[in-house]
A and B are shown apart, each in its own frame.
Chain A
């Protein structure tokens, strides 16, 4: 028996998270290059903006899902929660005729409240996240239909509402760069949440909970309280997604939402966040969401049949996760 040599931690060129981000980022670049070469129609301002616009809602949802997944949980309700908050905005703005800021606050508050409920079910009542959020997913889907009377709620009385997502503040300043507000909101939110994850207590506990929940508890941290807070924050972010999609469609579509949670989770996973919790990043998630919409858009531009688009998306998800596993196994 030889003694294990005592050495300081292996210095690594890049943190493991950074490696995965690099991998995902490289894949994104390759996809962009490939589609640009394959079709002259791909790399056009209008199309790139369309891709970004298509990413905005899924990207925001994926940010919410990232927070929860880093804690080692899962949130299946992000899609229908998004719809629910859109409907709430519709009720406030169209049914009650209140001012736009009230509708925005109401949607985000409703999202946070629902997240708070999910979090409480999970942290206090110890219902497994999968079940608790599956229940919430159905509850919110049903409530959206009930509240809206199963009909879309249009925002025609609030003419500036569509501007929230489809207008372009940047475009007003720099006409050559008409990036829609929805996309800017996604990127700004990503920066904020990335900062929250890496620089604040809440973020720290996100990783800590996903890494070893019992250890967090034994360290005297109010683990349950923080978990509820994280789910509530994720819920609030879903509220932003709700506003974005409602604004883009100029309507709250009550039947929409189911299935969107899977797109969000797929983006998170492609971005290298581990479903086991403890590791992940917002940058990765954004890249993951971009990969998904670039892929879909590119395949459409190449006129690949719709059936095959679905197949390719599935293959990419599995390949991304497998590549991540290989990398991690190598890292030991």
Chain B
């Protein structure tokens, strides 16, 4: 009796959910995107871009990512499930390229093209990588920083991590630009806060304490940048130039109010869109460049509401 009831309930719940699955016509080209995250605004914007492309080109797209960027194994389970669905192509942003290699090889053998996106995949398997040129974008942040602090003084970086491609590129892009062009600017500290707002806040507080004469801080992703802002607010520090990365409501508000001088925005919507577009091209056997730049922009108080900028910003 009980057994039967439980089973029935399970069945009902299952079939309710499954209707969405059945609704997807099987003859459409199916392209799953496995990303590095899911809940974060940035990834939701990528998803929005992918959905947009899906509607435009008439393909089926799903978007999944683990809860935190540490869950490498969960991402692999997602990739394995995606492969089982015999997709036309897969969009993939690896948390750990090495760990994913066996599955990617499996896809390669099955003739499923892989389109890397965002931080990409450290491997020659992907047909192409849709990404922001983070080195160039961070160099632009360094130029803006130099301009805002008058070309001299101490600056620091709060970066999300030192292992991912984006972390490394944004750090190196900024540091190399400063070294090459601004001899009077001294980079006094580079700290890593896992992109976590709270952790980044504490790190920034420590930097502010150690270097009271600091002129500017660069937060290398959304979580880092908001952490920097929080620390400045909580300590009541004045006159430090903050440059952020990506968007999100908090950064946008801070830029409008002047707490943040400006930020680099990638084009997450563009990443999602271009990934799907590249995937379709790959399926059709078209030639793809090794890299597809999805673009970046500097934005501040003056241009935040320009339609061209507003289109790539997200809340």
Contact with B along A238-278 (1 / 0, CB 8 A): 00000001001111010111110000000000000000000
A23 and B163 contact, CB distance less than 8 A: no
Q: Is the C-beta of A46 less than 8 angstroms from some C-beta in chain B? A: yes
Assuming the contacts A249-B73, A249-B96, asked whether A30 and B10 have C-beta atoms less than 8 A apart, the reply is yes
* Chain A interface extent, by class: 35 or more
Q: Is the C-beta of B274 less than 8 angstroms from some C-beta in chain A? A: no
Interface residues of B in 1-30 (CB under 8 A from A): 2-3, 6-7, 9-11, 13-15, 17-18, 20-22, 24
Residue of B3, B14, B72, B192 with highest tally of chain A CB at under 10 A: B14
B84 and A44 contact, CB distance less than 8 A: yes
CA distance A47 to B87 in the complex (A): 13
State how many angstroms separate the Cβ of B50 from the closest Cβ of chain A: 13
Q: Is the C-beta of A131 less than 8 angstroms from some C-beta in chain B? A: no
Q: Is the C-beta of B42 less than 8 angstroms from some C-beta in chain A? A: no
Assuming the contacts A312-B13, A315-B13, A327-B2, asked whether A248 and B82 have C-beta atoms less than 8 A apart, the reply is no
Assuming the contacts A44-B84, A253-B72, A255-B194, asked whether A302 and B77 have C-beta atoms less than 8 A apart, the reply is no
> Across the interface, which residues of A come within 8 angstroms of B76, CB to CB?
248-249
B162 and A34 contact, CB distance less than 8 A: no
A259 and B67 contact, CB distance less than 8 A: yes
Q: Is the C-beta of A16 less than 8 angstroms from some C-beta in chain B? A: no
Q: Is the C-beta of A198 less than 8 angstroms from some C-beta in chain B? A: no
Assuming the contacts A38-B22, A57-B73, asked whether A304 and B17 have C-beta atoms less than 8 A apart, the reply is yes
A248 and B99 contact, CB distance less than 8 A: yes
State how many angstroms separate the Cβ of B51 from the closest Cβ of chain A: 11
> What residue of chain A has the Cβ atom nearest to residue B110's Cβ?
A46
> Across the interface, which residues of B come within 8 angstroms of A306, CB to CB?
38, 63-65
Q: Is the C-beta of B233 less than 8 angstroms from some C-beta in chain A? A: no
CA distance A1 to B46 in the complex (A): 75
CA distance A299 to B62 in the complex (A): 12
B96 and A46 contact, CB distance less than 8 A: no
State how many angstroms separate the Cβ of B13 from the closest Cβ of chain A: 7
Q: Is the C-beta of B127 less than 8 angstroms from some C-beta in chain A? A: no
> Across the interface, which residues of A come within 8 angstroms of B10, CB to CB?
27, 30-31, 34, 316, 319
Assuming the contacts A249-B73, A303-B62, asked whether A53 and B11 have C-beta atoms less than 8 A apart, the reply is no
State how many angstroms separate the Cβ of A132 from the closest Cβ of chain B: 24
B162 and A256 contact, CB distance less than 8 A: no
A38 and B11 contact, CB distance less than 8 A: no
B98 and A300 contact, CB distance less than 8 A: no
Interface residues of B in 220-271 (CB under 8 A from A): none
A319 and B9 contact, CB distance less than 8 A: yes
> What residue of chain A has the Cβ atom nearest to residue B84's Cβ?
A47
Contact with B along A7-24 (1 / 0, CB 8 A): 000000000000000110
Q: Is the C-beta of A154 less than 8 angstroms from some C-beta in chain B? A: yes
- Which of B24, B38, B163 is in CB contact (< 8 Å) with A303? B24
Interface residues of A in 314-330 (CB under 8 A from B): 315-316, 319, 323, 326-327, 330
A300 and B78 contact, CB distance less than 8 A: yes
B2 and A326 contact, CB distance less than 8 A: yes
Residue of A39, A41, A303, A306 with highest tally of chain B CB at under 10 A: A303
> Across the interface, which residues of B come within 8 angstroms of A54, CB to CB?
73, 77, 80
> What residue of chain A has the Cβ atom nearest to residue B7's Cβ?
A30
Assuming the contacts A57-B73, A255-B70, A327-B2, asked whether A34 and B80 have C-beta atoms less than 8 A apart, the reply is no
Residue of B11, B15, B72, B82 with highest tally of chain A CB at under 10 A: B72
CA distance A154 to B194 in the complex (A): 20
Contact with A along B162-182 (1 / 0, CB 8 A): 110000000000000000000
> Across the interface, which residues of B come within 8 angstroms of A253, CB to CB?
70, 72, 96, 99
> Across the interface, which residues of A come within 8 angstroms of B161, CB to CB?
150
> Across the interface, which residues of A come within 8 angstroms of B11, CB to CB?
30, 34
Q: Is the C-beta of A297 less than 8 angstroms from some C-beta in chain B? A: yes
State how many angstroms separate the Cβ of A28 from the closest Cβ of chain B: 10
> Across the interface, which residues of A come within 8 angstroms of B24, CB to CB?
303
CA distance A250 to B15 in the complex (A): 38
A residues contacting B by CB (< 8 A) are 22-23, 26-27, 30-31, 34-35, 38-39, 41-42, 44, 46-47, 50, 53-54, 57, 150-152, 154, 156, 162, 166, 245, 248-251, 253, 255-259, 293, 296-297, 299-306, 308, 312, 315-316, 319, 323, 326-327, 330
- Could you give 28 example pairs across A and B, Cβ below 8 Å? A22-B3, A23-B6, A26-B3, A34-B10, A34-B15, A41-B86, A47-B84, A50-B80, A53-B80, A57-B73, A150-B163, A162-B102, A166-B102, A248-B76, A249-B76, A250-B101, A253-B70, A253-B96, A256-B70, A256-B72, A259-B67, A259-B71, A296-B81, A299-B17, A303-B24, A303-B60, A305-B62, A323-B6
Closest 4 CB pairs of A and B: A302-B21, A255-B70, A50-B80, A47-B84
A-B contacts besides A38-B14, A54-B77, A303-B62, 5 pairs, CB < 8 Å: A30-B10, A38-B22, A299-B17, A301-B84, A304-B20
